[in-house]
Amino acid sequence: MTETEQDRRPARPRMAAGALFFNDKGHVLLVRPSYKPKWEIPGGYIEEGESPLAACRREVEEELGITPAIGPLLVVDWAPNDAEGDKVLYVFDGDELQPEDLNAIRPDGDEVLAAEFHPADAVEQLLIPRLARRVKQAIMARGQAHPQYLEHGEPVT
Predicted pLDDT at 11: 84
Fold adopted by 12-155: Nucleoside Triphosphate Pyrophosphohydrolase (3.90.79)
Q: In the chain, pLDDT over 90 holds for what percent of residues?
A: 87
Mean pLDDT of 105-112: 94
4 pLDDT exceeds 80? no
**pLDDT bucket at 10, cuts 50 / 70 / 90:** confident
Predicted pLDDT at 6: 64
In whole numbers, what is the pLDDT of the chain averaged over residues? 94
2 pLDDT exceeds 80? no
Predicted pLDDT at 82: 85
- Strands 28-33, 112-118: pairing is antiparallel
99 pLDDT exceeds 90? yes
Mean pLDDT of 11-29: 96
